[in-house]
Amino acid sequence: MEEDLYTDPLLAQFYDSASQNRVDFEYCLGMAMPGMSILDLGCGTGELAVGLAKLGAEVTGVEPAEAMLDIARGRDGGGLVTWVQGDARNVRLERKFDLVILTGHSFQVFLTAADQLKLLASIAAHLALNGRFIFDSRNPDFEALKGRKVDDNIRSLEHELHGQIEMWNRSDYDEDSRILTYENGFRIVATGEEHVAGAEILYTKQRDIADMLAASGLCADE
Ligand SMILES: C[S@@+](CC[C@H](N)C(=O)[O-])C[C@H]1O[C@@H](n2cnc3c(N)ncnc32)[C@H](O)[C@@H]1O
């Protein structure tokens, strides 16, 4: 059965276990300074937003999925962050931030150029003068992606509520649309219960991203 990766409360519970060794989090944490205002778009379960707030930054996290936000609000330090349920394409908080972040390849959940441009307009609307926007998008020219049809792998993880779980990914990359369709599967070993969620992400070429940034009034620093 296909369930939604972010909106299903049980699947949201697996997100943190499945998402470890986050170099993007380390990078953003290295930018934080006490008093700095930070907008975390697509903040998911809020691990990074709370980490930034604990360093003294004033953080707002925006996320559409209630299930992800519930975990964010409930985590240790969750009260330090202002959480907003919203869509990064049209949220307008009527204020500016020193730093806007969009981590964990969230840029790639926007599947059309029109949506990417709406997202970038929203970012431009929230950036203070000389503010910075940090995001990541995976490289469509990465050789291992070419011809990739299915990547089936099983790994064991420890989950704080469910004990040992097994996780696997399957994916299918379409070189014409540059959309990767993938499934994440989870099995709770103690009960045998399985949950599978599918999603799609778009791989955008660097020069297209550069063009869109410029069209949105943003200037690429790095
Ligand atoms: C791969 S997760 C990344 C979460 C978090 N930023 C991280 O780095 O772990 C993608 C997130 O983008 C969120 N998302 C999906 N559509 C969105 C939208 N239109 N606006 C904002 N966030 C969105 C999802 O609900 C999910 O939490």
Superfamily of domain 7-138+205-215 in the CATH hierarchy: Vaccinia Virus protein VP39 (3.40.50.150)
Q: Which pLDDT does position 3 carry in this prediction?
A: 55
CA distance 25 to 51: 9
Residue nearest to atom 27 of ligand 1 (CA): 44
Summary mean pLDDT of the chain? 92
pTM of the entire predicted model = 0.94
What's the 45 CA to ligand 1 centre distance in angstroms? 9
For range 86-92, the mean pLDDT? 98
Run of H or E residues at 2: strand 2-4
**Where exactly are the structural domains of the chain?**
7-138+205-215, 143-202
What's the 42 CA to ligand 1 centre distance in angstroms? 4
For the Cβ of 78 lying below 6 angstroms from any atom of ligand 1, the answer is no
For the Cβ of 198 lying below 6 angstroms from any atom of ligand 1, the answer is no
For the Cβ of 104 lying below 6 angstroms from any atom of ligand 1, the answer is yes
CA distance 222 to 212: 15
Residues 6+ apart with CB under 8 A from 66: 7, 85
Q: Which pLDDT does position 143 carry in this prediction?
A: 77
For the Cβ of 12 lying below 6 angstroms from any atom of ligand 1, the answer is no
pLDDT tens track for 123-146: 999 999 999 999 999 998 887 777
Q: Name the residue with tokens 């998911």.
A: 44
pLDDT tens track for 58-88: 999 999 999 999 999 999 999 999 999 999 9
Residue nearest to atom 11 of ligand 1 (CA): 42
Is the pLDDT at 2 greater than 60, yes or no? Answer: no
Cα angle 121-86-167, degrees, rounded to a multiple of 5: 105
Sign of CA dihedral 138, 143, 146, 150: negative
